[in-house]
Structure 1
Amino acid sequence: MTTTNDGRQAASWWRAVPGIRAVTTYRRAWLPKDLVAGVVLTTLLVPQGMAYAELAGLPPITGLYTTILCLLGYAVCGPSRILVLGPDSSLGPMIAASVLPLVAADGDPDRAVALASMLAVMVAAIMILASVAKLGFVADLISKPTMIGYMNGLALTILIGQLPKLLGFSVDADHLVEEAAGVVEKIADGAVVPAAAAVGCGGIALILVLQRLLPKIPAVLVMVVLAIAATAAFDLGGRGVHLVGQLPEGFPPFTLPDVRLSDLAPLSVGALGIALVSLADTISNASAFAARTGQEVRGNQEMAGVGAANLAAGLFQGFPVSASGSRTAVAERTGARSQLTGVVGAALIALMLLVAPGLFRDLPQPALAAVVVTASLSLADIPGTVRLWRQRRAECLLSLAAFAGVALLGVLEGIAIAVALSVLNVFRRAWWPYNTVLGRVKGLEGYHDVRSHPGAERLPGLVLHRWDAPLIFANAKTFRDEILRLARTEPRPTWIVVAAEPVTDVDTTASDVLEELDATLNAEGVHLVFAELKDPVRRKIERYELTRTIDPEHFFPTVEAAVAAFRQRTGARWQPAGGDATRPGE
């Protein structure tokens, strides 16, 4: 009996693996569409994989290894039906910033690959642990305005970094400003290789035009094919244009990354940043495409899937990966129905490496730079920044600060700044929340903000105050100071009623402040009254024994009940704004 139960549990666990579940529920009618989508997707995966590997400071072949393994890893463990993972333009600079400072002065490519592979393994470990701990919410640590600024800074960093390769020369610089100055200096010195500039700039123009006018045509593939043809027709290699050259033949072997113990600490910093960006990318893309297909997003399982994809890549000479919105959109447009599309793409790339590794031998490096530059342009969101400026300038300034952090300090520092700014913005809102005085507006039910309705009527001796935040340690003194200011305005009120419906919490620090505040107000002949407190908050106040100080009769279920009680006790009548507050009147 135990054996049978164990067998059932094992079978149940096995069927819970997304890849196994996908196989058991696969429909035969999907097969032709998945096969066609996989073939089309491959035409995008190959050039982008090589281009993003070079963006990360790694040999182009590692981009293909990474693409194969991450697609297979996610197909087994990823919950999304059509999400496509792979090398990503937003991660490339972060990988380079993590790996290149640790590479020996001679730029040993084997060591760079080992470091990048270890980075992928560390990202996988972070993702899987976060999935087990159900920490999918950490993707929310970066607000949209700061993410816009971060991506704008990343786009500029990528663009400036690719200009030397695009124009046929190299620049030795550590930061964006130095690199930009180096590019200008090289151009002024006549270091531009005309043939390289023609291929690179022409490639950018061709991709942008085709994407705009003929979006169904694989623009990147067309550009790559024409660039290879131009190499043969015009002998671009003999004209100073660097070519990709022969790729290694065969499938990558299983390899445990061989790195020094001293490398782990700096790599872990990069791994945390990459994991955060990858998670945010994956969750946002999964949500967008799930909404179209009627699927539900399972954030913690997505983390496990991305972790498996990174682990597979890291153990086969690959580097960290993320979800790709553009490649997933291509898969969707070409009819993909399941992760078989990605498996087909992986199989075709592996077949190319086994049978025709020299297929991209004559591909010009400026053509790969053109692929990266067009990808960087898609990262930038200038209209979004302009919209922020029009809608909320404080958040636009946060976005610009994140942009400056990436542009001036670097991509890893930039992501740290983006997260810090997002968190500080939350604290800023909690520290100085919106609060206002309420009044009665003729023709409108309830009580309304006097800033929006300057003519609102008020009751002499009563102040209705709304506090739009929980009362916590960060803002308790701000609340106290505001209430004391209202208590000492002329004419002096006798009741200050807090419309507390937006107050979702009162912590122990705020409780102590409220106790002192009520004692101070009582000494001045003013009563602190609460209306519309939520039941959980009221129970906390009772547990803190605040009702020893604040009269239990000064808690009302509604603002209307508090106002009615005040009028019954004082006989006060509503006064128009600016009226005589000392003399009741109707």
Structure 2
Amino acid sequence: MSATASRGRPADPGGSRRARGTGTPVPPGLRALRGYRRAWLPRDVAAGVVLTTLLVPQGMAYAELAGLPAITGLYTTITCLLAYAVFGPSRVLVLGPDSSLGPMIAATVLPLVAAGGDPERAVALASVLALVVGVVLVVAGWTGLGFVADLLSKPTMIGYVNGLALTILVGQLPKLLGFSVDADGVVGEAVGFAEGMAQGQVVPAAAAVGLGGVALVLVLQRWWPKVPAVLVMVVLAVAAGAAFDLGERGVDLVGELPRGFPPLTIPSVGWSDLGVLVAGALAIALVSLADTISTASSFARRTGQEVHGGQEMVGIGTANLAAGLFQGFPVSTSASRTAVAERAGARTQLTGVTGAALVLVMIVLLPGLFRDLPQAALAAVVVTASLSLADLPGTVRLWRQRRVEFALSLVAFAGVALLGVLPGVALAVGLSILNVFRRAWHPYETELGRVDGLPGYHDVHSHPEAGRLPGLVLYRFDAPLFFANARTFRDEVTALARAEPAPRWVVVAAEPVTDVDTTAADVLFELDRTLAARGQSLVFAELKDPVRRKIERYGLAGEIGARDFFPTVEAAVEAFRRETGVAWPDAGPPAAAPPPGVPGPRDAPPDADRGSGAQPSVPGT
């Protein structure tokens, strides 16, 4: 089952089946536990150990990317992994802090933080944001609203992530070199970075760690992909920080993390902040859902699993709720961490539980483990993540395959880079909707003709040699008829009817017309009257049953004439030939005129099968 097919129709909205003989829903994680095999345990635990090497540095790095203390990334990692293990339907997906959400969280939370920065307030705002995201996703999962993820088309999503990658990269460059910039937006941060470089604010030791860390990760990922590149870089950075006393050389260090795990906390914020938080949460939920469905579909195809959009939303929503209650922030699925877990042999969510337990042990027993880790090393983690986030091959493919969608991708990229992350999301969604509207507003339309050796009737643009019957126009309109394109349809049919020599019939091959709204019905009524005044007939072929019933309900079928509807294009052509005696140009002399009383389209006897939605005879070539 495709992700799109599963969205919005969760057979089990709560993401769980009901216990046999009771009305109690069973979470997917507990249900999976019943069928757990002992042989899987070593692989799951080993994969969890490997996964932890990514969870810790990325959790801290993405927390700081979101403008929050590094420890909150570890709190978030623990809670979301445990919650998804219980309520998530996928066996292998790994959730956690994500590079694509970090800038969105920062763009929502940081403007609300008091001047000068207040870490406790920032954490409270981020926790409320996670709670709102969780509520949105759970409600969407229960109500079947997973289809909203389709509002981000692939071209606009490519542009969005490319803009996001540039935003992250530019924002992390100062930190990578050991200084900071107080500016907003890509342009402002780029200017601030250049000014800092010119003013000599670069800390050489930090730059060596940051740039060296980026180079090391990229080399290891390229030439030795099985080596945990991020772990190797972080371990070396910690060693360098301790051995060379980098803190005394002007390098910012992570320092000792707070010991222990926070208690259950209900974050408190002002009512005036909720509007901004809800707006940010909606954007984060949309991006998180689209990313999760895409990642889940990719890994499900490898394992033979099905993707249930409603269940995934409930699982991700629950993970966000858990993070928000323990001083965390919004999370999403991580494709990189999921791939690491899969390659390490993960069979179930016990891998994530193992990773969460190891992170918990670290912050309880070893809070000083990363005391000497330079902040520049965390910036290197984020920079390499941003480089992998960008989809330049996808952009090039759009340029080669479809320039219109390339332009949409470019506008989405510019929106994120120039307007900001949250406006960029809104712009990306708006562009996707406008693109759909554009295609329906000006759909493909063509005339059809007969091609020797090919059954049916075919596009004259694809087959210029196609023959046309004198006095007859076969016209196909490849879209539903509604208020936005009804006049386009009317104008094209009117132009065809006014051609010389003027046709007697204009037959609409209506199989692609999946709907007719009331505005379009009024336009058809007016068009039929106009053609009738000129002695011409508007005829429909292959109209689907549901559309035919709507036309009858509008009263249009009776006005046009119930006998002007034919089950197939062939039936309409034969009726025209019987009425007029016209033959195909290459078919010899015209057939004899029909005897008196043989019906034409306006007085043909009713046909019970007309408009039956029969399979079309127009292949659409």
> Shorter-chain TM-score category?
over 0.9
1:274 lines up with 2:287 in the alignment: no
Equivalent residue of 2:506, what SS?
strand
1:348 lines up with 2:358 in the alignment: yes
1:222 lines up with 2:232 in the alignment: yes
1:505 lines up with 2:509 in the alignment: no
The letter of the residue matching 1:301 is: Q
1:518 lines up with 2:528 in the alignment: yes
Give the C-alpha shift of residue 226 in structure 1. 0.7
**Aligned equivalent of 1:461:** 471
Matches within 5 A, 1:426-465: 426-465=436-475
**Deviations for 1:86-140, whole angstroms, at most 9, x for unmatched residues?**
0000000000000000000010000000000000000001011111111111111
* Among 62, 67, 74, the residue aligned to 2:72: 62
Give the C-alpha shift of residue 12 in structure 1. 4.1
Q: Contact between 1:519 and 1:549, CA under 8 Å: does it hold in 2?
A: no
**Aligned equivalent of 1:72:** 82
Q: Contact between 2:446 and 2:476, CA under 8 Å: does it hold in 1?
A: yes
Give the C-alpha shift of residue 14 in structure 1. 4.5
* Among 165, 176, 200, the residue aligned to 2:186: 176
**Aligned equivalent of 2:321:** 311
* Among 411, 422, 425, the residue aligned to 2:421: 411
Q: Contact between 1:14 and 1:20, CA under 8 Å: does it hold in 2?
A: no
Matches within 5 A, 1:17-416: 17-416=27-426
The letter of the residue matching 2:99 is: S
- CA–CA distance in 2 between the matches of 1:536 and 1:56? 51
Give the C-alpha shift of residue 233 in structure 1. 2.5
The range that moved more, 476-485 or 54-63, is 476-485
Q: Runs of 4+ in structure 1 displaced over 3 angstroms?
A: 8-15
Give the C-alpha shift of residue 544 in structure 1. 1.7
Give the C-alpha shift of residue 567 in structure 1. 1.6
The range that moved more, 435-444 or 134-143, is 435-444
The range that moved more, 180-189 or 413-422, is 180-189
- CA–CA distance in 2 between the matches of 1:338 and 1:124? 23
Q: Contact between 2:241 and 2:247, CA under 8 Å: does it hold in 1?
A: yes
- CA–CA distance in 1 between the matches of 2:21 and 2:298? 32
Give the C-alpha shift of residue 170 in structure 1. 0.9
**Deviations for 1:8-53, whole angstroms, at most 9, x for unmatched residues?**
9697454621121021111111111000000000010000000000
**Aligned equivalent of 1:481:** 491
List runs of 5+ in structure 2 lacking aligned partners: 1-17, 592-621
The letter of the residue matching 1:375 is: A
- CA–CA distance in 2 between the matches of 1:575 and 1:451? 19
The letter of the residue matching 2:246 is: L
Equivalent residue of 1:502, what SS?
coil
Specify which structure has the higher proportion of helix. 1
**Deviations for 1:166-224, whole angstroms, at most 9, x for unmatched residues?**
01111111111111111112112222111111111111111111111111111100000
- CA–CA distance in 2 between the matches of 1:461 and 1:80? 61
| Residues 432 and 290 of structure 1, relative CA distance in 2, 3 Å threshold | same
Give the C-alpha shift of residue 433 in structure 1. 0.7
| Residues 29 and 14 of structure 1, relative CA distance in 2, 3 Å threshold | farther
Q: Contact between 2:19 and 2:26, CA under 8 Å: does it hold in 1?
A: no
Q: Percent identity?
A: 74
Q: Contact between 1:461 and 1:493, CA under 8 Å: does it hold in 2?
A: yes
The range that moved more, 85-94 or 557-566, is 557-566
**Aligned equivalent of 1:5:** none
**Aligned equivalent of 1:527:** 537
* Among 546, 556, 559, the residue aligned to 1:546: 556
RMSD across aligned C-alpha pairs, in angstroms? 1.6
Instruction: State the TM-score, normalizing by the size of structure 2.
Output: 0.90
Equivalent residue of 1:443, what SS?
coil
- CA–CA distance in 1 between the matches of 2:291 and 2:154? 12
Give the C-alpha shift of residue 287 in structure 1. 1.1
- CA–CA distance in 2 between the matches of 1:584 and 1:488? 24
Give the C-alpha shift of residue 231 in structure 1. 1.2
Equivalent residue of 2:265, what SS?
coil
List runs of 5+ in structure 1 lacking aligned partners: 1-7, 577-582
Q: What is the aligned residue count?
A: 573
Equivalent residue of 1:358, what SS?
coil
The letter of the residue matching 1:468 is: D
Q: Contact between 2:412 and 2:424, CA under 8 Å: does it hold in 1?
A: yes
- CA–CA distance in 2 between the matches of 1:35 and 1:421? 45
- CA–CA distance in 2 between the matches of 1:10 and 1:573? 70
Q: Contact between 1:59 and 1:109, CA under 8 Å: does it hold in 2?
A: yes
- CA–CA distance in 2 between the matches of 1:85 and 1:93? 17
The letter of the residue matching 1:322 is: S
The range that moved more, 503-512 or 107-116, is 503-512
